[in-house]
Structures are given as C-alpha cells and as structure tokens.
Chains A and B, each alone.
Chain A
Amino acid sequence: MQLARNLILLITLFPVAVIAGVLPEERADALYHSYEGGGVKIDGPSVLVRKNFAEKFSVSANYYLDMVSGASIDVEATASAYTDERTQTSVGLNYLRGNATWGLNYTNSEESDYDADTINFNVSHEVFGGLTTINMGYAKGADEVRRNIKNPDGSKTNDPGFAEDVDRQNYQLGLSQIISKNLIMGLAFETITDEGFLNNPYRVVRFLNPDGVTTGTEFERYPNTRTSSALGLTAKYYLPYRAALTGLYRYYTDDWDIEAHTLELGYTHPNGPWTFDLKYRYYLQNGADFYSDLFPRANAQNFLARDKELSDYTDQTFGVAVSYEFLKDWKFISSGTVNFSYDRIFFDYDNFRDVRVSNADPSITPGTEPLYSFDADIFQLYISFWY
C-alpha cells in the first residue's frame, strides 16, 4: 500500500520537459584508502569506471575492498583481535531522455558474516530552464546477518544455528536550485525503513549484579524495525575570485529516539594545475532511548543496547586535500589528476565509558570509569582520468 502510494506520487510529481539533461562524466578512478583509529585499521582499494555510449547511456562499475584488522573497544572488552574483509561491487546504468536522467544501480556487499544486496532506482529531471533539478529515488535492500564461531583450530566458521534477515527501503526526494550566478543549493529528504535483525549478534550490554559492585553481561536486544528521516541542505558559493565555499547542514531523527545534527564547511582553492581543499565537519547525536552504558540489573527492559554508535556523542573532522593535474589532452585522455587527502576525526562519547579500566582494576566501581574517546586518521590516495 505504502509502495503503491509512493509510485503514484513519483508519477504525479513528474513535470513537463523543458531543457535537456546531461549524463555523468566519463572517468576512471583508482583509490587506496586507509582508516586507523580506536584500535582498528581498515584499508583497501576502490576502482570506479564510467563510460557513455550512444549519447544516451552511461554505464558504471565499482569495486571496493575493506581489509579490517585489530580490535575495537567492544572486541577488546569481550574477545580477541580479528581480521576480516568486506568486498563491495556495484554496477549502474543511466539513461538520458530529454530533460530526464533515469538510473538503475545494483550493489552487493559481502563479509564473512554479513551479505547485503541493494537495488536503487532514481530519476532526475530539469525544469525552469535548467535552474531546478528534481531527484527522486527508491532503493530496496535485502541483508543476511550471520554469526561466526571459532573452531578448535582457531579458524572461523558460520554458526549453523544462526541466520537472520534484514529488509531495507529508502525513499529519496531531492531538489537542486540555481539561486544566482554564484550560488547553487541542494535540498535532500530521505526516509529509510529497516525491518529484521538490526542488532550486532556479538555485542553484549553490561548490568549491575545484585551485589551492586560487580557486573554481568547479556546480549543486546534491539527492536526489529527502525524508521528514520533525514533532511539535508547543501550550498555552494563561487567567491569573487576563483574559489568555492561549501556548506552543509543535515537534521536526522528516527523512531529509536535518536536525533542528530551534522554541519560541514569546506573551501576549495584552485591554483594552476593544483586544487586545494579544506574541510571542517561537526556531528552531534542524542542516543537511542534503549541505550545504557550500565543497566541496573539483568533484563532491565525489553530492548537493550550498549553500542557506542547509539550513545550520546559528538565527533569533529578536520580535513585537507590536494589534487594535481599532471595530464591534459593526451591521446584519448582529456585530463588526469593525482589526489591525496587526509582527515582526522575526534570522537568524544558523553555516556559510553571505557570498561577496559574497570576490567584491569577491579577497585574501580562500574559506572565511574572515564568516558571513552578516540581519534581516527583517514588517508586517501587516488588517480583519476577523464576521457
């Protein structure tokens, strides 16, 4: 019923053609990425290729790999360090017809204990002489959650008694608007619904034992549905000299009572073959209503979570990036750039405590450990070609 209603709306909202749209740029990128922070290192490659044909179609393919090693604070508190891999592949097709671009994208993500398939349909449509672009999208995802167990020889295998599903649906509506010769703004609204097994099958919550001094643990229990809404506003402004300012604000809310604000500011400054970027990002979140760092007793409530991503916290990012154009109009390549970026993120949790402290020193009373915080370093090095 809900789906039918939204499909009708997609058709209703489709205005009359005014001006021709454009296909995405033809380009190829090869990227190496690295994230290190909170005891975890994740790195790997990503390759994206996009090619147009018959002046109406654009095809794209992306291969992405995460190689995970180390132990986050959750793992350190309850288990030993591990290694894992996540492979993601995507293929996409865009079709340009008049002033509208239709897109279909399929993504598959695989880990040893989690598979995700997503299909995304979107359409963007230019109106008012190209001043306004309306975007609409719908995505459906089907995930399978498994749990790994350790064999006596130390290798990992899927627990044959555990396999759960998650169904996801995304509804996206967007608008980009030319405001003046130097200012363009974008507005995006997205509702996401999840249904199924939404918690982590390994993570535990801690509770105070009846003695009031020691703690016990039990597995997390999340609701099996989640519905969220996010509204994002983006602006790009061309300065009186050749440089651009970027601003972004996003408001997020969901029915787990999480509320978040994201603010991002950026500055782009080209100089000859060089382009420099500066970025600052601030994120503030109020946690889920069933989150607690320390529950007062076992089975204290229906739903239980001690995932730091569901707690109250802030994070701040400072980023720099530099791009150098080393190739121009060579054979079939119109341009080539080499790019490097570095981001540092500071995470500060307001009600997630560092249990490693009380695990190491039993004289520390549970619930009085220092609040957890960590910093993460993110590097990206990539090469891009346009043709």
Chain B
Amino acid sequence: MLTSDKYKLYFRAVIAALMIISITACSSIEPWVQPYERDHLADPIMKFERNPVSSAYSHHIYEVRESARGGLGATGGGCGCN
C-alpha cells in the first residue's frame, strides 16, 4: 500500500516542475512556432475534445466501470451505479 510519504513525494515533484515552468514563463522565450504557422494546429480535427457532450459521456462510461479516475480533465457527478 502506498504511504502518505510517497504521496508527499509525488506532490512535491509535480509542484517543483510547475514552479520551474512558472519561473521560466516570466522570461522572454521566443515562440518557435509562430502564430502564422499554426494553421494545422488550429484545424478542428486537432482539438483534444472536439465534441464536449460526447467526450463527457465517454469519460462517464469509463469512470463508473474502472477504478482509475482523473488525469483526463473532467470531474463531478454521481455514478448511477448503486
């Protein structure tokens, strides 16, 4: 079984990584993909969740039938599984 110490370690590692990003975000890094080069990225087929109503339903299907949860973006609701 995982101990609370192990969770503290995970938590600190993630916070450290985000603090590094936060600090470096204040410096002037030149974007290596210019806004006018992002036409492929702006295509609707490149969206992580192209159809929110369908994605939310799919997340729900798995959330109630699998123990794993989180790490994908959606939260909230009961399970309809009692």
The chain A residues found within 8 Å of chain B, CB to CB, are: 9, 12-16, 18, 29, 31, 33, 35, 42, 46-48, 62, 64, 66, 68, 84, 86, 88, 90, 105, 107, 109-111, 113-116, 118, 120, 127-132, 134, 137, 139, 141, 143, 145, 170, 172-176, 178, 180-182, 184, 186, 188-192, 200-202, 227-232, 234, 236, 238, 242-244, 248, 250-258, 260, 262, 268, 270, 275, 283, 285, 287-289, 309-310, 315, 339, 341, 343, 345, 347, 378, 380, 382, 384
CB under 8 Å from chain A, chain B span 59-74: 61-62, 65-73
- For B78, give its contact among A116, A256, A257, A268 (CB under 8 Å): A116
Q: Please tell me if the beta carbons of A202 and B82 are within 8 angstroms of each other in the complex.
A: yes
Which residues of B are found within 8 Å of A310, using beta-carbon distances? Answer: 67
* Contact with A178, one of B38, B75, B80 (Cβ below 8 angstroms): B38
State whether B14 touches A189 (Cβ < 8 A): yes
Do B43 and A238 touch across chains, with their CB atoms under 8 A apart?
A: yes
Please give the number of chain B residues whose Cβ is less than 8 angstroms from any Cβ of chain A in the complex. 57
A residues less than 8 Å from B62 (CB atoms): 283
Is there contact, CB below 8 Å, between B22 and A14? Answer: yes
Asked if residues B37 and A250 are in contact (CB atoms below 8 Å), the reply is: no
Instruction: Let me know if B25 and A113 touch, CB within 8 A.
Output: no
**Chain B residue, CB-CB nearest to A283:** B66
CB pair B38 A181 closer than 8 Å: yes
The 8 A-B pairs with the shortest beta carbon distances in the complex, nearest first, are A230-B71, A190-B70, A129-B31, A118-B76, A15-B25, A232-B71, A252-B68, A86-B80
Residues from chain A with Cβ under 8 Å of B15 in the complex: 9
Instruction: Please give 8 more A-B residue pairs, beta carbons under 8 A apart, in addition to A190-B70, A227-B7.
Output: A16-B26, A31-B53, A109-B77, A182-B41, A190-B69, A238-B46, A255-B4, A380-B57
A111 to B33 alpha-carbon distance, docked (Å): 49
Per the bound structure, the CA–CA distance linking A107 and B60 in Å amounts to: 14
- In the bound complex, how far is the Cα of B71 from the Cα of A175, in angstroms? 11
B45 near A270 with CB under 8 A, answer yes
A253 cross-chain contacts in B, Cβ below 8 A: 2
Q: Given A131-B31, A189-B14, are A139 and B75 neighbors across the interface (CB < 8 Å)?
A: yes
CB atoms of A232 and B52 under 8 A apart: no
B2 touches A254 (CB 8 A): yes
Chosen A-B contacts, 11 in total, with CB atoms closer than 8 Å, are A129-B35, A145-B82, A172-B75, A181-B38, A186-B48, A230-B71, A236-B46, A248-B72, A268-B45, A289-B1, A380-B54
> How distant is the Cα of A227 from the Cα of B69 in the complex, in angstroms?
11
Complex Cα distance A184/B47, Å? 9
- Give the residue name and chain of the B residue nearest to A229 (CB): B10
Bound together, the chains give a CA A120 to CA B73 distance in angstroms of 11
Q: Is there contact, CB below 8 Å, between A180 and B80?
A: no
Q: Which residue of A lies closest to B7 (CB)?
A: A227
Among the listed B4, B25, B81, which residue makes an inter-chain contact with A128, where contact means beta carbons less than 8 Å apart? B25
Q: Are A315 and B57 in contact (CB under 8 A)?
A: no
- Assess A188 versus B73: contact at CB under 8 Å? Given A12-B19, A285-B68, A315-B65: yes
A254: B residues at CB distance < 8 A: 2, 67
Bound Cα distance from A315 to B64, whole angstroms:
13
Q: Which residues of A contact B61 (CB under 8 A)?
A: 35, 343, 345, 378
**Nearest chain B residue, comparing its CB with the CB of A238:** B40
Chain B residues near A268 (CB-CB < 8 A): 45, 50
Let me know if B76 and A255 touch, CB within 8 A.
Answer: no
Whether the pair A173, B40 counts as a contact (CB closer than 8 A) is no
| Cβ contacts under 8 Å, A127 to chain B | 25
Q: Which residues of B contact A170 (CB under 8 A)?
A: 70, 75
